[in-house]
Amino acid sequence: MAANGPAGNTCNMLQFMKLIGQLKRVPRTGWVYRNVKQPESVSDHMYRMSMMAFTITDRNINRDRCMKLALVHDMAECIVGDIAPADNISKAEKHRREKEAMKHLTGLLQEGMRKEIYDLWSEYEEQSSPEAKLVKELDQLEMILQAHEYEQLEQTPGRLQEFFDSTQGRFHHPEVLQLLKSLNEERAGHIATGSKDSQTTDSQCDRPAGTS
Amino acid sequence: MAANGPAGNTCNMLQFMKLIGQLKRVPRTGWVYRNVKQPESVSDHMYRMSMMAFTITDRNINRDRCMKLALVHDMAECIVGDIAPADNISKAEKHRREKEAMKHLTGLLQEGMRKEIYDLWSEYEEQSSPEAKLVKELDQLEMILQAHEYEQLEQTPGRLQEFFDSTQGRFHHPEVLQLLKSLNEERAGHIATGSKDSQTTDSQCDRPAGTS
């Protein structure tokens, strides 16, 4: 944070942190439109994405960079909200609004930090690195994992199929594909049984070893 | 994630990510006990803390390590819940439950990752590094910033004073102290005016420069 910045900088840091805090109160629009009760926030989503990035083992990938990309990629939504495909706003207009929001947000920071966070957001938007491409896959994977969890929580197996359909062909990284395979298997079990208790499918998994 | 792990590992990764996802649905107990409406989740809290860590400029501090500590420090709460002082559970018992939860959670991961995440959690619990100490300050700072925001949102200036009282003397790092100063100034303005519009105090801050 801005310990030694010019006058007013810490005050700007407070405004930055308050805007970041608004992400807690921006619900993810996809769930709102599908009447999910008490849907997750944008920061909930970015939190788990950053943990997905944390557990990447591919040594050709800069893991720390992935974590930062995950933390930053939806940050503009604290100002512009979570614009969903169903909102009928063009990709170009969505990008324009988010770019403006990111300029405002990062303008509250000191020069070095301003550039770092803005550049991370640009890298993700432009998909200009292997890390940005992988984090985009994590974004989609986190979404369908959440869809599956809502189907389990609401005992409505298969109801959020459209989210799975929207990600067809989007996954390429081997670690993402392996988690996707587990997810699809567990979900198929949930749909097949129409089970009210997701634990019936969990039992397919190995138990953790050496955990106590 | 576990691309090349032993059989069953990816399935365990799915269970790990599902447990992490439960943090979205664990409300922060302090707010629940004070009847805050739609309180933040534990992952909301850890998200902003990790962004606070992201903006640390102190070169004597390993910033990436702080971000990871922030992401991990409350992770056990996906299993044991957010145990608050008012729950009358001893610190030792809280630690025991969280340690067990962390062993279970990290037991779902491959060996290297298992150790890294468990060790980060231990480092924070034991406050055994300058980074862990700073992240503890960020934990407290994030809490009182959130308290202030709830007071503003609910137009109840000063109602959550006890959270501020509980942090007296807990802050030492200069960057934390500067943000604390801004926060206390803004909050004092809010309390003094009893204003329904927090923007009256925001105007004390410099406007961002060069943001468009």
**pLDDT tens track, chain A, 212 positions:** 644 444 456 669 999 999 999 999 999 999 999 999 999 999 999 999 999 999 999 999 999 999 999 999 999 999 999 999 889 999 999 999 999 999 999 999 999 999 999 999 999 999 999 999 999 999 999 999 999 999 999 999 999 999 999 999 999 999 999 999 999 999 999 999 985 554 444 444 443 333 33
| Chain B contact present for A80, CB below 8 A | no
Residues from chain B contacting residue A174 (CB–CB below 8 Å): 3
Q: Which two tokens stand for residue A114?
A: 């301003």
Q: Which two tokens stand for residue B122?
A: 């231990």
Q: Which helix (H) or strand (E) holds A119?
A: helix A111-126
Residue B5: CB partners within 8 Å, gap ≥ 6?
A: B110
Instruction: Inform me whether the pLDDT recorded for B179 exceeds 70.
Output: yes
What is the distance of C-alpha A112 from the center of its chain? 25
Position B9 scores a pLDDT of 61
Residues from chain B contacting residue A100 (CB–CB below 8 Å): 212
- Written as one letter, the residue type at A79 is I
3-state secondary structure of A142: helix
3-state secondary structure of A41: strand
Position A85 scores a pLDDT of 87
Position B44 scores a pLDDT of 98
Option in A1, A17, A179 nearest B48 (CB): A17
Query: What is the largest distance, in Å, between two alpha-carbon atoms of chain B?
Result: 63
pLDDT grade for B174, boundaries at 50, 70 and 90: very high
| Chain A contact present for B68, CB below 8 A | yes
| Chain A contact present for B210, CB below 8 A | yes
Exposed / middle / buried, residue B189 (Cβ in 10 Å: 0-12, 13-18, 19+): middle
Option in A7, A20, A175 nearest B48 (CB): A20
Instruction: Inform me whether the pLDDT recorded for B211 exceeds 80.
Output: no
Residue B102's nearest CA partner among B80, B134, B85, B82 is B80
Record the pTM: 0.91
pLDDT grade for B3, boundaries at 50, 70 and 90: very low
Query: ipTM, 2 decimals?
Result: 0.91
Position B6 scores a pLDDT of 46
The predicted model gives B86-113 an average pLDDT of 96
Burial state string for B122-159 with b = 16 or more CB within 10 A and e = fewer than 16: ebbeeeebebbebbbbbbbbbbbbbbbbbbbeeeebeb
| Chain B contact present for A29, CB below 8 A | no
The predicted model gives B50-69 an average pLDDT of 98
| Residues 101-130, chain A, touching B (beta carbon < 8 A) | 103-104, 106-110, 112-113, 117
| Chain A contact present for B192, CB below 8 A | no
Percent of chain B predicted with pLDDT > 70 = 86
Instruction: Inform me whether the pLDDT recorded for B200 exceeds 50.
Output: no
Position A10 scores a pLDDT of 61
